[in-house]
Each structure stands twice: as C-alpha cells, then as structure tokens.
C-alpha cells in the first residue's frame, strides 16, 4: 500500500488517480502508523509553505516524515517543504535537502506554468527517461541546485527539477500531469 500524505494541500486526488491508472493501491492519510507502515510514501502538494508547515508541525507529521525509512516521493510543494527553508512566508522547513527555496526573480512571469525540459537527469527515478524530456510545472518558488540535485530545469535561472538523498526523492514538476514521462517516473518510484 502506498500512503499519500494528507496535510490540507491540493493535488492529492490527481496523484491518487495516477497511481490507480498504474494499478497501484493507495491510501490518503495523516495517520502516523499508516504512514510509517506503508510500503512507500508520496508527499504531494499544491499550496503555501508556511501554512502547510504549520499543519505538519501541529500534528507531529514533520517528525514522522523525517523518520521515514521507506522510499518517499515529494511532489511540488512536497519537494519545497523537504528543503531547509522557503522564502514563502519566511518558513523553516524539514531540512532533508540542504538547499533553500526562493521566489523566481521579478523579471520572470510567475507562476512558472506549463511544459519545460529536464536537464542533467541522473539516478533511479529517471531510469528510461531521455535527457531533454518535457514535464509539467506549476510553481512560483524553486529549490536552488545543490549536492542532492538529480535533474535541472531552466526558467531564466537554473533550478532543481528533482532532488534525491537516501530514500527521499522529490520532483518540482508534477509527474502525475506529465503524460508518458511522468508515468514512467512514477513507475520507477514504485519499483524502488
């Protein structure tokens, strides 16, 4: 069973629908025991960093997420909350990935929305994914490239399209909305 973390962020049902299309059973939950006993955990999200972190802390889910030993996939806001901090609401985040989340420069249109190209892809999450594949983004904040960056994207500046550290994987883009490429990335995660 795959646990999809419930924390009052959007996009959870579309992730569950993508898993169902892949023939995978999932459960949307904020229950500590269900999360820790799941085969894998997905930490999706569309929302605002400070209110999302407040919800996680109030329920002790910040400590639960950091203690998970099975594979975890953060998506969009999930990736950002796994970083050290976010400029959005001046938020201290989980600190799994040692990088900051920043607002795109004012010279750019935000949100960065639509299809964009993956660069420098590496690691198990991107098995059978071609360099320069396109994936779907909707975000105004980005994680700076760091030692945990396993894919990049350019939107006037280079940012982390994906991060990986140990059992923690994360994508800034939405694999559940990224057609065949996204489906393959989800399959790769499910096969870890």
pTM for the whole structure: 0.97
Q: Is the dihedral of CA 167, 27, 17, 93 positive or negative?
A: negative
Known catalytic residues are 76, 174, 176
Where would I find the H helices in the chain?
Answer: 12-21, 32-37, 49-58, 61-67, 77-81, 179-190
pLDDT of 107 reads 85
pLDDT of residue 108: 82
Please state, as a whole number, how many other Cβ atoms lie within 10 Å of the Cβ of residue 128. Answer: 9
Q: What is the pLDDT of residue 106?
A: 86
Can you give the pLDDT at residue 32?
96
Q: Report the distance separating Cα 117 and Cα 67, nearest Å.
A: 33
What are the extents of the domains in the chain?
A: 2-190
Q: Which residues 6+ apart lie within 8 Å of 19 measured at CB?
A: 2, 4, 25, 26, 42, 186, 190
**CATH topology assigned to domain 2-190:** Rossmann fold (3.40.50)
Q: Where are the beta strands (DSSP E) in the chain?
A: 2-5, 26-29, 40-43, 72-75, 83-86, 91-92, 97-103, 112-117, 134-139, 141-143, 149-155, 157-165, 168-171
* Helical segments of 23-164, H only: 32-37, 49-58, 61-67, 77-81
**Angstrom distance (rounded) from CA 5 to CA 68:** 12
Instruction: State the Cα–Cα distance between residues 97 and 104, nearest whole angstrom.
Output: 19
pLDDT in tens, 58-80: 999 999 999 999 999 999 999 99
Residues in the chain with pLDDT < 70? none
Residue 189's pLDDT is 98
């Amino acid at each position: 069973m795959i646990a999809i973390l419930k924390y009052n962020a959007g996009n959870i049902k579309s992730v569950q629908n993508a898993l169902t299309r892949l023939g995978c059973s999932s459960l949307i939950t904020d229950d500590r025991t269900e999360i820790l006993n799941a085969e894998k955990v997905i930490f999706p999200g569309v929302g605002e960093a400070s209110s999302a972190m407040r919800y996680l802390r109030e329920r002790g889910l910040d400590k639960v997420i950091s203690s998970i030993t099975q594979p975890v996939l953060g998506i969009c806001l999930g990736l950002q909350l796994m970083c050290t901090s976010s400029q959005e609401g001046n938020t201290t985040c989980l600190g799994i990935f040692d990088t900051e989340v920043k607002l795109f420069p004012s010279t750019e249109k935000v949100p960065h929305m639509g299809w964009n190209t993956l660069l420098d892809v590496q690691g198990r999450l991107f098995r059978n994914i071609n360099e320069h594949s396109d994936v779907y983004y909707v975000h105004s904040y980005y994680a700076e490239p760091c030692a945990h960056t396993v894919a990049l994207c350019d939107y006037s500046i280079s940012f982390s399209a994906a991060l990986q550290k140990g059992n923690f994987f994360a994508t800034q883009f939405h694999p559940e909305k990224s057609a065949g490429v996204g489906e393959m990335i989800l399959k790769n995660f499910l096969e870890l």
